[in-house]
Structure 1
Amino acid sequence: MRKKLLKGLLVLLLPLFAFTTAHKFYLSVTSVKYSEKEDALQITSRIFIDDFEKVLDKRFGIKGNLATKDESPIAMDYIEKYLKSKLVIKIDGEVVAYDFLGKEYDDDIMVCYIEIPKVNFPEVKSIEVQNEVLFDLFVEQQNVVHFRLKDIMKSFVLIRENNKGMLKL
């Protein structure tokens, strides 16, 4: 009796498992830290390489071949161009320019390094991050922003409809 019940259950459940697919997460993680030594905001943004490849292709028609020996020599310029159009930093309500220092790869992740020099942190009242990275390509995209500034730690999950996180100091 027990065997028949198990077989019956298996027959009912098997079709359900046959048509499920693994869900892909669309996520980036950006960390904002203050370096007292450099008097600079240091920002790292971690983005899946395959997702960024798609945005380079769709937005700019570039085959980046990121993280391969055939990486496009213009990929770095387009990575910087895209980030500067989608990642906006404000200090005390004013948009600030930042330096794109470069990138490196960590398995399937591209780590981008950004710096805002000469911040004069003791006088800063608020820092806002508007992160729209990959929102133009993936509806499900979420961009996590972690602030770690002196003894303050705060995180935001940004989505298309709510793409800004502000830390008041």
Structure 2
Amino acid sequence: MRNRTRGLLLVASLMLAGPVLAASSGGIVEQPPVQQGQGVGPDGNVGPVGPASSPSVVVPYIGPAGITVYPVKLSGNTAKPGPNSKVKVNYRGWLQDGTEFDSSYARGNPAVFNLNQTIPCWQQGLQSVPVGSKVKLVCPPDTAYGNNQVGQIPPGSTLTFEVDLLEIMD
């Protein structure tokens, strides 16, 4: 019985460490991180979750058209881009099968975009992000490139981006 309990504890601890291990190896975080502060409780209300001394889970923001914004690292900054802002970002983008199709990290140079000239997912998602934060955006096809083939991105693709909002340039 004692060995069986140890085995179950080991399996449970490995399962819990999985997302942390993936994040530390440079991968995207598949689940929202645990942070101090506010969260959404089981009743759906926003507020402290659990005892005051325990951390709460930062839940993803679900935006228009099914865009999901997962906080990876939140800054204390209050500045957020507007719809016509020029932003400086580091980012990488993946297809659903895990194929990376673009990365400013790989090029070693942050990218600068006018937000109103990006895909709708970025336009909507990044307006909810404070400067200095890193988020994961999950973009349904209608908020990405729809039924168009763009480079190695097939038509109808759901895209995932990890975006580090470095600066608002205007």
The structure richer in strand per residue is 1
TM-score normalised to structure 2 length? 0.25
TM-score normalised to structure 1 length? 0.25
Higher RCO, 1 or 2 (CA under 8 Å, sep at least 6)? 1
Q: Which has the larger radius of gyration?
A: 1
